[in-house]
Amino acid sequence: MFLNTRLLSRRGLAAGLTAAAAALATAGVAWGATTATSATTATTTRASAGPRTCASNDLYLSMGRKEGAAGSLYWSIQFTNTSTTKCALRGYPGVSALDTAHRQIGPAATRTGRSYSTVTLAPGHSASAVIRTTNGPVGGPCLTTGSYLRIYPPASHSATLVPARWQTCSHTFQVGPINTEGAI
């Protein structure tokens, strides 16, 4: 588990400044009100910031059902929280198709540009992001069919390889943001 000591130091500093201000006030020593207020505000702000960001090792990634519609092929990527605490995902995952030797096939998925919000996952709960290509060579050729998808959860530098047969066609490979509606 990653422990952010810089965050703990700030909390400790804020708590220490608050305690020092209280001690000085009890002793009758005047101390700048803005300093005491800033320390208290820093502690309050950090405490209410919400759940931590989901790390790669907190998540189990799997593929949902492939669905076709209006000349497109859609496939959802499921992100399931396997940790014992709540965590949050916000934004777009990074996705690319790989061959059996784990070499990338074509460019990585581009973002759809859809707006997004933070999705909080309780332990055992899931959210998804949807990938899209055309349903065959409509306006361009199809690339070699990949054996895996390399997926980076939002805000992560660690990828997970998910076995998935994926073929990008017509230069179209898009990914939507993490959401609970299953939309691209």
Confidence of residue 183 (pLDDT cuts 50, 70, 90): confident
* Coil, strand or helix at 106: coil
d(CA 27, CA 124): 51
- For the chain, the domains span 5-49, 56-175
Buried b (16+ CB within 10 A) or exposed e, 156-172: beebbebebebbbbbeb
- CATH level 2 (architecture), domain 56-175: Sandwich (2.60)
- Reported as a single tens digit per residue, the pLDDT across 58-88 is 999 999 999 999 899 999 999 999 999 999 9
Say whether pTM exceeds 0.85.
Answer: no
- DSSP state, 58? G
**Of the candidates 64, 90, 88, the residue with the CA atom closest to the CA atom of residue 75:** 64
The residue ranking higher by pLDDT, 124 or 183, is 124
Confidence of residue 4 (pLDDT cuts 50, 70, 90): very low
